[in-house]
Structure 1
Amino acid sequence: MYVLYIQTAALILESIFCSSRACSAFIPNHVDRFNVSSCFPSNRKVWRLRPAQLHRISDAAMDATKGKFDFSWILFLLAHTIYLLGVSVKPSPYRWLLFIPFGSICTYLTYYTSLRDPVGDYGMGAYLMTQFFTALDFLILTDVQKELKLVGQKDGVADKPLKTRLVWGLKLLGSPRGIGWTYAPTSILPTPSKPSTTRRQFIVSRLSELAANVLLYDLNGFVIRANPCMKVDGPSFWHTGNGWMWMWRAAGLSYTVAAWININVLHILYSLLSVGLGSTEPQEWTPLFGRLWDAHTVRRFWGRVWHQMMRRLLSKNVDLVSKTLGLPRRNRITEFFCLFLAFFISAVIHGAGDAMMLTNWRQGGSFLFFALQPFAIALEEMVMSLGRRMSISGNSTTVKMLGLLWAFLWFSNTLPIVIDIKARRGFFQAGPQGSVFLSLVRGEWTPK
């Protein structure tokens, strides 16, 4: 049997968890022995979520989606059926026509329907737009059955029976990073398990990693709950009333930590299930994220450390525009044009999540956050170019430590653009509440 749609499911949940109530799972309602008010003037209140506020969160979410139709799961399944058929049918000059109904359904569901849940809306909107751009590649730009092959695949799949082509198509759609395919960016992706790794060793290793992730997630929750700026009635991250706001902006990175762990845990669970059942081998499982030490530039964070599930769709669509405009290859201007265009597409994708959640993408901060990233990378390039002229090695430990500090300061001061609106919507107080840590230490699943 084949384990299919594993990484695609991770992509859906990545969009959800990056915005979501998952950040509050296994997290206490407040942090014991931590007085938030001590960091603010004494006349300021401590922000706590009250029942009346929960009602306002729900009312605000409903108001934001008034005038929209209910989300249709039938259309959702229909769209994915069309998509699967599109990559599974025999090569045809008319195959691109299948993109029209698929793209139309994705657009309609994103901009004209709602799940009546801001968390689900954001995740679904970003996911549907991701599939929209991926389909541009697989249904229009690439003759998939002639150009793409699985590792070890010798014969083409175009002349195989429909059942074989359907399984082949599921594998294609289920591997956004290209794992197991000849086009996978192996030089960028983390190193997979060694071929000598036994099934038992892999399972023990992944179970240990799972336990560490759950503990870290639980502890990270204390930071989220302690941050007044992440409360529905809390101050904005841009509040300048006192000198402590820089600390809360930095603590906003706990949002990214929660998203990172959620996606990674999902990947670990799938790998345990797949390898445990004998469907795949340990060496087929490449870690989803790179080493944090490699994030000593903003470029390397997005290009090596963060998951690479959007790499192909971004590069293929950027190449299309670049070739259409006739831009010269291996040109500095072309390189920066492609960089800015790639993040523009990413901004559109994540902005679609805001559009589904808030009815208008301009109300959210996702588009602006991703649109700003290439400016940081361009600045890095200028600084590193100057450093090379001064014979400063970019591989020295000192330079890398300074780079990590720079990346930390950049993200801690730009990530609130995304978080602020979500905090006001009550994202970090939504969902089930609880703490594994408290349950083990004090025997309390939820704090009193």
Structure 2
Amino acid sequence: MADTRPELPVLSYLLLPDILSCILVAFGPPLWVRLLAFCAFFYTKLSGMHYYAVDEPAYNFTFGTLFLQQVLAAAHYMLTTNPVDDVRHERDVFKVSARELPLLKRIYWAAGYCFGPRSVGWSDQVANIPARPRISRWAFVRSHLLWMAWCLFLVDIAQTYQHTHPDLFHRPGETLVSVGADGYIMRCVNVVSTMSTVYAMINVHYSVCAIAAVSLGLSGPADWPNVSGRWADAYTVRKFWGKTWHQMLRRSLSSPGRLISRTLGFKRGTTASSYTQLYVAFILSGIQHSGGDYMADPALWRQSFTANPLFYQSFTFFFSQAVAITAEDAMIWVGRKLGLQESRATHLLGYASTFCLV
């Protein structure tokens, strides 16, 4: 069935609500005001997902996911924290809080926090960010231009393959084709093709922003650590998601988990606290990506959700990652009890199991 939804007004639904919420945060209003504003923000994002589509159907998933990503980010900086009182940047010189700054500077300060999902250089900087570059501006720009060229080359290879399988990757018809339709080996090739494109384009978009900001003098190289970690660290599912993959969602996904853990009375650093945060983060990630499922095909999403509301499309995958990490932790614990030590062999086994589980 043809998509009859009107084209998404990007400014009204994707950009303006975030700009207005950032300005509100700069004033540091009481919680009840921020809660009302968040409800309006949430309603706007859901309306954009439900009533509109974009010109290129393949991008509906991206925009749907982005809408709920913005909701989770706003929940952090509007509800679980009050930035003007709770955080500060490493270059801040005010004595007590950002309320001491003139209004325009405070709005700029708030924008830096709200639109910096990893809190680089802030007092609540997320964990496992790659080393911050300490190089000259132009060396930084040159390195990112070279990295962009490599990523675009990777995308070109992946999409050349994808264009040879239009039924799987471009869905010209209504029939869904499984990535494993041609056997396990081709399933692996299909998954690598898809994920390499996602990985490369995340890096390209990040590098474009980094080059622009550093070239214009809006920020320095140290404010732009690499978006992804080392592939050498991806020998467990936990390390893949916690170190190798981008950490752009970590702040907004971990903040609710910490709040719930504290509410349940779990002490920081305990097993109960750790796994509460783990499952909350992946459940929220599953919900966020389900926004992409919904915007891509509302009818299919409703059909899938009605059939099994707890396990549908993207949610199933992200929830399974938390389960996989739990099982993996148990296996590592048993291995240590048996006297096994980390080695090249265990790492190779870990890389293989991580590839299969992710």
Same fold (TM over 0.5): yes
Counterpart Cα distance in 1 of 2:91 and 2:218: 17
Greater Cα radius of gyration, structure 1 or 2: 1
Describe the superposition over 1:58-81 as per-residue Cα deviations: whole angstroms up to 9, x where unpaired. xx451xxx5x56534454244224
5+ residue gaps, structure 1: 1-59, 412-448
Counterpart mapping for 1:249-288 below 5 A: 249-251=187-189, 252-288=191-227
Shift of 1:117: 4.2
CA distance in 1 between partners of 2:114 and 2:60 (Å):
22
Aligned pair 1:400/2:347, yes or no?
yes
For residue 114 of structure 1, give the secondary structure of its aligned residue in structure 2. coil
Structure 1 residue 237 and structure 2 residue 174: aligned?
no
Provide closer, same or farther for how the CA distance between residues 112 and 410 of structure 1 changes in structure 2, counting only shifts above 3 A. same
Q: Which amino acid aligns with 2:203?
A: N
Read off the aligned partner of 2:163 and give its amino acid letter.
R
Counterparts of 1:157-196 in structure 2 under 5 Å?
157-185=98-126, 187-194=127-134
Q: Report if the CA contact (8 A) 1:95-1:139 is conserved.
A: no
Partner of 1:71: 8
Alignment equivalent of 2:22, drawn from 77, 84, 95: 84
* CA distance in structure 1 between the partners assigned to 2:16 and 2:218 by the alignment: 28
Q: Which has the higher helix share?
A: 2
1:260-409 alignment, distance < 5 Å: 260-359=199-298, 361=301, 363=304, 365-394=313-342, 396-409=343-356
Q: Counterpart amino acid of 1:215?
A: F
Letter in 2 for 1:79: P
Range with bigger deviation, 363-372 or 159-168: 363-372
Give the Å deviation of 1:350: 0.4
Match of 1:201 in 2: 139
- Which amino acid in the other structure matches residue 168 of structure 1? W
**Per-residue Cα deviation, 1:167-215 (whole angstroms, up to 9, x for no partner):** 1121112211111312113x51111223xx2233323322322222222
Q: How many residues align?
A: 340
Aligned-pair RMSD on alpha carbons? 2.4
* Per-residue CA distance 1:273-292 (angstroms, 9 max, x = gap): 33333333223320000011
Q: Residue 148 of structure 2 aligns with which residue? A: 210
Select which of 151, 160, 172 maps to 1:222.
160
Change (3 A) 1:72 1:271: closer
- What secondary structure does 1:341 align onto? helix
Task: Read off the aligned partner of 1:294 and give its amino acid letter.
Answer: D
CA distance in 1, matches of 2:351, 2:156: 25
1:100-132: per-residue Cα shift (whole Å, max 9, x none)? 211221122223433364333222221111111
Partners of 2:7 and 2:143 lie apart in 1 by: 43
Deviates more, 1:259-268 or 1:275-284: 275-284
Indicate the SS of the match to 1:253. helix
**For each residue in 1:141-183, what CA deviation from the matched residue of structure 2 results, as whole angstroms up to 9, or x when unmatched?**
2121011111121312213222111111211122111113121
2:332 and 2:31 map into 1 onto residues whose CA distance is 47
Q: Distance in 2 between matches of 1:406 and 1:314?
A: 25
What letter corresponds to residue 343 of structure 1 in structure 2? F
Is this contact kept in 2: 1:82–1:98, CA < 8 A?
no
Conserved? CA contact 2:286–2:316, under 8 Å: yes
- Give a deviation string over 1:205-227, Cα, whole Å, max 9, x none: 22322222222222223333345
Partner residue, 1:427: none
Q: CA offset at residue 311 of structure 1?
A: 0.7
Do the aligned residues in 2 keep the contact of 1:296 with 1:403 (CA within 8 Å)? yes
Give 1:390's aligned amino acid: L
Q: CA deviation at 1:300?
A: 0.7
Q: Any gaps of 5 or more consecutive residues in structure 2? A: 305-311
* Contact 2:77 2:114 (C-alpha < 8 Å) held by counterparts: no
Instruction: Determine if contact 1:61/1:117 at 8 Å carries over to the other structure.
Output: no
Q: Relative contact order (C-alpha < 8 Å, sep 6+): which is higher?
A: 1
Output the CA distance in 1 between the equivalents of 2:335 and 2:265.
32
TM (norm. structure 1) is 0.70
**Structure 1 residue identity aligned to 2:348:** M
**Residue in 2 that maps onto 1:8:** none
Report the alpha carbon displacement of residue 301 of structure 1 after superposing the two structures with TM.
0.8
Look up the SS of the partner of 1:348 in the other structure.
helix
Letter in 2 for 1:389: K
User: Partners in 1 of 2:11 and 2:221 — Cα distance?
Assistant: 36
- Please tell me whether the aligned partners of residues 347 and 368 of structure 1 are also in contact (alpha carbons under 8 angstroms): yes
Q: Say if 1:73 and 1:370 are closer, same or farther in 2 by CA, change over 3 A.
A: same
